[in-house]
Structure 1
Amino acid sequence: MSEYKIAVLGDRDSVLGFRALGLEAFPAETVEEARRILHNLAKENYAIVYLTEQYAAGMAADVARYKDELTPAIILIPGKEGSLGIGMANVKSAVERAVGADIL
Structure 2
Amino acid sequence: MLRHAKYLALVGLIALGGCWGSGIGDDAPPMPKRTSIEITPAHPSIAAGTSTQVAATAIYSDNSHADVTTQVAWTSSNTAVATIGAATDTAVSVTPGNDHA
The interval holding the TM-score normalised by the smaller chain is: under 0.3
TM-score by length of 2: 0.26
* Structure that is richer in strand per residue: 2
* Structure that is richer in helix per residue: 1
Q: Which has the higher contact order (CA 8 A, sep 6+)?
A: 1
Q: Specify the structure having the higher radius of gyration (Cα).
A: 2
